[in-house]
Amino acid sequence: MDCKNVTGENDTGKSQLNTLLEISEICLSLNFNLWLRGGWAIDFLLGKITRLHTDIDLVTWLHYREHLVQALVNAGFQIKPVGEFQTDFLKNNFDVSFVFVRYSDNGDIVANGFPDWVWRKDALQHCL
């Protein structure tokens, strides 16, 4: 399901969906994989907006970070660096949070900066 097919009634949700669509289009143009996490991930699985969201939580590969940050800044996102684990942005008065993952030396998917936080091997199969 893409964000054009998710239904909901509130303006904040629609604004966040438009921002998510913008991010998705940027990542597609760069050929970057992107995954939802958190509340929006659940809503996409359900196919409807279930509640008001305060942010958008996303996951992508660490090796995309530098180019992704530059592309989002060029698109008007204000960067709010958090650390090696994630980078947050501000647009339309809400936060967009990217967690960056990488492969560990033994082939596990791990969150950058948290090598003990091992993700399931099939965690990142479907992308936006």
pLDDT over threshold 50, residue 23: yes
Between 128 and 114, the more confident residue is 114
Between 7 and 44, the more confident residue is 44
Residues 88, 82 contacting (CB under 8 angstroms) = yes
In percent, the amount of the chain with pLDDT more than 90 equals 53
pTM of the model: 0.82
pLDDT over threshold 80, residue 39: yes
pLDDT over threshold 60, residue 26: yes
DSSP string, 67-106: HHHHHHHHTTPEEEE--SSEEEEEETTEEEEEEEEEE-TT
Reference 109, options 61, 39, 37; nearest CA is 61
